[in-house]
A and B are shown apart, each in its own frame.
Chain A
Amino acid sequence: MSYVPDLLPGTLELLILKTLAGGDPMHGYGIAQRLKSVSDEVLQVGESSLYPALQRLLLKGWVTGTWGASENNRRARFYTLTAAGRKQLVVERREFDRLIVAIHKVLNPA
């Protein structure tokens, strides 16, 4: 079973944006794999959360999707970050950092 830790709302979108920030177009499976490997197998995102998240990003216009051939020559949709998405990444990143600091403060009272 794929295991997805309970993420804060919106965090998955942030992670996808960050993953795409490298500039290379990636397909959904690739994104999931990248998340998994980068997080040392902690973040195993199932498609039932991945694809709705991607659709949300498409809807908001932060990523675009184009169809192309995958490494094993199958048709796949490749996602790229848009300019708006890049801006959003900065904003969300800042928000997320603030949140982490806040949580940290709660967990380690001075």
Chain B
Amino acid sequence: MRNLLRRVWYVIRQRQFERDLAEEIEFHRAMAQQELERNSVPGASAEDAARRAIGNTTLAREDSRGVWIWPWLESLWQDAAYALRNLRRQPGFTAVVVLVLATVIGLHTTLVTVIAGVVLRPWPGVQDAHRVVAVYLLGPAGGSAGFAGGLPLAAYRTVAERAKSLSGVVATRAEEVLVGTGDSARSTEALLVTGHFFDVLGIGVAPGRGIGPDDDRPSAQPVAVLAYDYWHSHFGGDPGVIGTNVRVNDVPFTIVGVASRDFSSAEPAYGKQLFLPMTAAPLKPNDPPLTCCVDVAGRLAAGATREQVRAELDLLSREFVLPDGMRPRGVIVTGTEFAARPGRADSVGPLAAASAISAGLLLVWLVACANIGNLLLARAAARVKEIGIRLSLGASRRRLIRQLLTEGFVLALSGGAIGIGIAYKLPFVLLHVLGGAAAAFPFRITVDGVVLVYALLLAGVSAAVFGLAPALFATRSDVAAALNEREGLPASKFPLRGLLLAVQVALSVVLLVSAGLLMRGAQRAGTFDPGFAVNDVTAVSFELPPGAYDDARKRAFFADLSDALRGLPANTIDAFGFATWEPTFIRRGYQTPIHLPDQTLAQAKMVTNVDVSPDYLNVLRIPIVAGRNFEASDARLVAIINETMARQFWPNENPVGKTFLIGRADSREVVGVMRDAHTHSMAVVPPLFYQPLREGRVVPRLLIRSSRGVPSAELKRIVARSDPRVRIQTTPLSAHLEARVAESKWGPMLGAVLGGFALALATVGMFGVFAYAVRQRTREIGIRMALGAQPSAVVRLVLAGHSRAVAAGLVAGLFGAVASSVVLRNRLHGLSPFDPVAYLGVAVLLAAAGFAASYVPARRAVRVDPVVALRYE
């Protein structure tokens, strides 16, 4: 303790201490000299003799100081300061290296954040989350139709009552509800939960209490639990809100509690504002009574394993009946991690995309390290003399290696620091890219200490990887050789260098071509022809007053609406129709297993379908290419399919008049084929069929085509006349398109960033190698020029050696690029994978990069003055 205080005192009074020490040692030297003078005769050399006699005073001073300061700490500080000075002298080099490292570290850290922190994490805010399992039902039959999904409500009840391997079972279902009254009512995401949800999962509720079993009965007083964020954003975080009422679908619910903040980023709760008892489900009358399907989770009974649960539920599941009358094949029991949900870890899921990007990044990182290593090596070559002098002055090799490594660390840490900045911002952008619009990523991401540590670790490892070899190499020369030899490392060839260069070039070609293609694709998406009317069409969705509409009334409402629209003055609107979903350019709508009469159920394929009114195709201006359009008299049993579906199910045949089966028994007759249109995707058109809308069963959307704009005022008046409680919302289809186009730009942007950095790396790499070649052969060039060599011959000489590596990289890269562009094909919006513009652009870029990388070294070579070069030794 006292020691520490003295050390601190030393640090504070360091200058004074050092002056004292210097004076003391000087006094010692003077005394020694005096004595030598007294004893020996030649006074002139006494001073030197004294110096020799007492040795290295500086070393004495350093060692004495070392007593006070942990010496390694001080030398570390010195090394860092020295490295900083050194790097500042070469701002270009430093900027490139730091930027490259920052990007690679930032991107990688981001991915790790997302994958480890979110995707592989069980539900947060749940007690002992590792003992909680999620249960999914395996769909009927095998083959492609087999899907894993939720359980019918009846099946859930069976599990809850009879499963012995689970100590508690809960079910949830997401539901959109209206909160508030009148014009201030807002559509809000709610999670319906069963009565034991809060206790079985052990979710913290403060203030207030969770929903209990007594609340989940049909006769119970309706209660609601608020999500933490909702409580803050809509109720100001006021604890007094407990006990007050909130109107949900026009029914007063008593607020009884607020769920914990942690739980709000668990998958079922993500984005939900309210938790309501499951029995509240029928309160939303637009839907048929709740039968299918709920998400089921349970807590393992003491001592039970997942395998036991699976075996038990497999047996129970034989009694389950799916809504379409079929039987499930069994159950899947998984943990609650995002990645564990069936279908997420498959080869096309977001996880696969994340791993692909991660692998790519790892490669870029390695190449970056190798590249920076090459650069440092070239720098070390220039410093061999300096290092030789330091070695001869008594610096130990270890000390020098440490100093060179410190330089690497300073570089890496600066890169890492910026990388952390990137990592803080990027996950949100990246998730957007990975999830797209179809799969909203149900998580909140936190960038925390773990990420920080990871980024720094990555920076540290980078520094070791790219710094060690050059440091070892530069310091291995023996002193005399280093001082005598011409500048340059002891002669040795680096075939590795050429290989690394080739890999770099190849990789940047692949990345650049991919990025170029994606960007061209996005550009095309902005101007692409969707194949149907987009600009003049507006979708109208309806919110009917809760509880007031049965099927008959719904049918009457929409019949009135149609009559009123037809009664509008001529030319107000061009056409209108109804559909369960408007075209949103993503695969939205029902997916049904379809097979042909001569196929088995196991061969069924999932096909998207939409229920539409007879005029729908006319509204969207999708032409019929074979057969006929719907007619008002059509029964439910007919369908119009698109060209893709025709090709897939009836290749080289006329599908009109053919029949296909839906599920086990339902069948449809194809009456017409419509032209492919991008109603459900931006890129490839999926198979699709339309069938007549069942009036009254669902609340469809109204689609209006009008070249003079949608008469929204009239529309509101018409609706209000029919029922003032009905609320409508209009969305032009072009808004959907714009959103998709904006989304589709993220991928290309990420690609462009990666490609740009790969190019920067390759350029810097080439530059380093060429510059090194010139430096190493300065003397040879001098001799050649003295003997009359032409400058062009000198340039060829310098560049030739490594040009072969560059050329090999180009060829390999082209092959890789072709392969990757074929993989990317269905993200190109119909652009050819061999788009000449993208390839030409990359060629131009690479040529420019090659020129930039070789210009300076070549000029340096040409400017070698023979006299200087030869006198060099």
Contacts and interface: CB of A to CB of B under 8 A. Distances in A.
B282 interface: no
Contacts of A60: 3
Interface residues of A, number: 27
A27 to B, nearest CB: 7
B56 interface: yes
Given A27-B27, A47-B60, A76-B24, A2 B66 contact: no
B3 A59 contact: yes
Contact of A61 (B6, B25, B55): B6
Name which of A51, A58, A77 has the most chain B CB atoms within 10 A of its CB.
A51
A28 B28 CA distance: 7
Contacts of A72: 31, 34
Contact of A1 (B24, B28, B53, B63): B53
Nearest to B61: A51
A52 B67 contact: yes
B57 interface: yes
B28 A47 contact: yes
A49 to B, nearest CB: 8
Nearest to B58: A48
B64 interface: yes
Contacts of B59: 48
Contacts of B32: 29
Interface string A23-62: 0000111001000000000000011111110111011110
A75 interface: yes
A59 B68 contact: yes
A10 to B, nearest CB: 14
B60 A52 contact: yes
A60 B10 CA distance: 13
A104 interface: no
Q: Does more than half of chain B's interface fall in helix, strand or loop, or is it mixed? A: helix
A60 B6 CA distance: 8
A56 B67 contact: yes
A79 to B, nearest CB: 10
Name which of B34, B53, B64 has the most chain A CB atoms within 10 A of its CB.
B64
Given A48-B59, A51-B64, A52-B60, A2 B25 contact: no
A53 to B, nearest CB: 9
Name which of A46, A60, A74 has the most chain B CB atoms within 10 A of its CB.
A46
B560 interface: no
Given A29-B32, A60-B3, A70 B27 contact: yes
B20 interface: yes
A52 B64 contact: yes
Interface in B43-72: 52-57, 59-61, 63-68
Contact of A51 (B3, B24, B53): B24
Interface in A65-79: 67, 70, 72, 74-77
B30 interface: yes
A48 B60 contact: yes
Given A28-B24, A47-B54, A52 B63 contact: yes
A29 B28 contact: yes
A102 to B, nearest CB: 28
B23 interface: yes
Name which of A28, A47, A55, A77 has the most chain B CB atoms within 10 A of its CB.
A47
B25 A51 contact: yes
Interface string B21-42: 1011101111110100000000
A12 B287 CA distance: 93
B: interface residue count bin: 20 to 34
Nearest to A76: B27
Interface in B794-832: none
A47 B68 contact: no
A50 to B, nearest CB: 8
Contacts of A52: 60, 63-64, 66-67
Given A28-B28, A74-B27, A75-B27, A2 B55 contact: yes
Contacts of A28: 24-25, 27-28
A107 B30 CA distance: 42
A13 to B, nearest CB: 11
Contacts of B27: 27-29, 70, 74-76
Contacts of A1: 52-53, 55
B22 to A, nearest CB: 10
Contact of B54 (A2, A54, A67): A2
Nearest to B67: A55
Contacts of B2: 61
B7 interface: yes
B54 A59 contact: no
Given A59-B3, A77-B24, A29 B31 contact: yes
Nearest to A61: B2
A34 B53 CA distance: 17
A58 B23 CA distance: 17
Given A1-B52, A70-B27, A48 B20 contact: no
A100 to B, nearest CB: 27
B690 to A, nearest CB: 89
Contacts of B55: 1-2, 46-48
A50 B57 CA distance: 11
A58 B54 CA distance: 22
B28 A77 contact: no
A14 B10 CA distance: 24
B57 A59 contact: no
A7 to B, nearest CB: 15
A31 to B, nearest CB: 10
Contact of B57 (A47, A54, A67, A75): A47
B40 to A, nearest CB: 15
A18 B702 CA distance: 104
A67 to B, nearest CB: 8
Nearest to B32: A29
A55 B64 contact: yes
A101 B60 CA distance: 33
Contacts of B63: 48-49, 51-52
Nearest to A77: B24
A51 B63 CA distance: 8
A77 to B, nearest CB: 5
B29 to A, nearest CB: 8
Nearest to B59: A48
Contacts of A67: 20
Given A51-B61, A72-B31, A77-B23, 18 more contacts: A28-B24, A29-B27, A46-B60, A47-B25, A47-B29, A48-B54, A48-B60, A50-B60, A51-B28, A51-B64, A52-B66, A55-B64, A55-B67, A59-B7, A61-B3, A74-B30, A75-B27, A76-B24
The 6 A-B pairs with the shortest beta carbon distances in the complex, nearest first, are A48-B60, A55-B67, A52-B63, A29-B31, A51-B64, A55-B64
18 contacts: A28-B27, A29-B28, A29-B32, A46-B54, A47-B29, A47-B57, A48-B55, A48-B59, A51-B25, A51-B60, A51-B61, A58-B6, A59-B3, A59-B6, A59-B7, A60-B3, A67-B20, A77-B23
